[in-house]
Amino acid sequence: MPSPTLITPASVKKRLNELGLRSKLRARPRVQGRILAPAGAFRRLPRAAGLFLPFYHDVLPEYAPDLRRHLAAFRRRGPLVSWDDALKILAGDHEPDGPVFCLSFDDAHLSWRDVVVPMLSELRIPAMFFVTTGLIGRPGNLSWDDCRAIAAAGFDFGSHSVTHRRLTDQGDDDALREFADSKRELESELQREIRDFAAPYGSDVDFGEREIAYAEETGYRSFASTLRPAMYPGDSPLAINRQGLHPAWPLWAVRTRVHD
């Protein structure tokens, strides 16, 4: 008798990759959100104490009301804090008595300037912007002047590498430059110290011990991935988990990523 094919999250992921479905779905976030949503029936937004770090990329104007809904849902559960305050929680400076959220955004999207920053300023929500320095000035991306204006509005900046190439695909010298050169350029353009790094792609095949060592060597205090589990006091700032979301997703889809 043939053994039954085991359906696991990994096997589903592999099959979707083979079909090219994952990238097709990413290009159609509303559809992706509707497909994810049923799995959210078995999850709830966090109620227990813990640190959650949801992050986004581009937020097109059509999705602004959706992002606002996500933020309101988080805020009903607990405070949204700055990256600094999130690190203080990990350091054990204060023990959260419920869920705490810390927002970040990756790459260098123009919509940060036009959609995200105005909304977060109005709602008084802090955020970290992880910039891929090689994207600055390219079509559809921010200029350094835009970044300086966002920094002046009180938001935080970190590095998201120079080229956005997968770090683990690169030789030692090239990989090290992704950390050092992006830091140097961000610091010279923004005139502030850059101490936080988010790995491109950020799953467990996209970084390893070498990358975390390079982050430390080049003067970063935190290293963020896209691994999803909640974080707690005592966890390392060099292994920060974040939950990747798309603003187009319904809240049920959000619950598949950010949950107890």
Cα separation, 134 vs 141, whole angstroms? 10
Cβ proximity to Zn ion, 58 vs 106, nearer residue: 106
Q: Which is nearer to Zn ion, 132 or 218 (CB)?
A: 132
Q: Two tokens at 170?
A: 């690169």
Taking CB atoms, the residue at the shortest distance from Zn ion is 106
CB atoms within 10 A of CB 65: 10
If the CB atoms of residues 106 and 235 are measured against Zn ion, the closer one turns out to be 106
Token pair, residue 164, equals 């956005």
Q: Which of 58, 66, 106, 178 binds Zn ion (CB under 5 A)?
A: 106
- Residue 106 pairs in a beta bridge with 130
Compute the distance between CA of residue 105 and CA of residue 37 in angstroms, rounded to an integer: 22
Closest approach, Cβ 8 to Zn ion, in A, equals: 27
Nearer to Zn ion, 49 or 241 (CB): 241
Q: Interacting stretch for Zn ion, rule CB under 5 A, among 101-109, 113-121, 145-153, 227-235?
A: 101-109
Segment near Zn ion (CB under 5 A), from 62-70, 75-83, 107-115, 219-227? 107-115
Size of the residue set binding Zn ion (CB under 5 A): 2
Give the range of 2-10, 98-106, 172-180, 214-222 binding Zn ion by CB under 5 A: 98-106
Residue 251 to residues 34, 212, 220, 256: CA-CA distances in angstroms? 10, 33, 33, 9
The candidate with the shortest Cα–Cα distance to 231, out of 104, 127, 101, is 101
Chain residues that interact with Zn ion, rule: CB under 5 A: 106-107
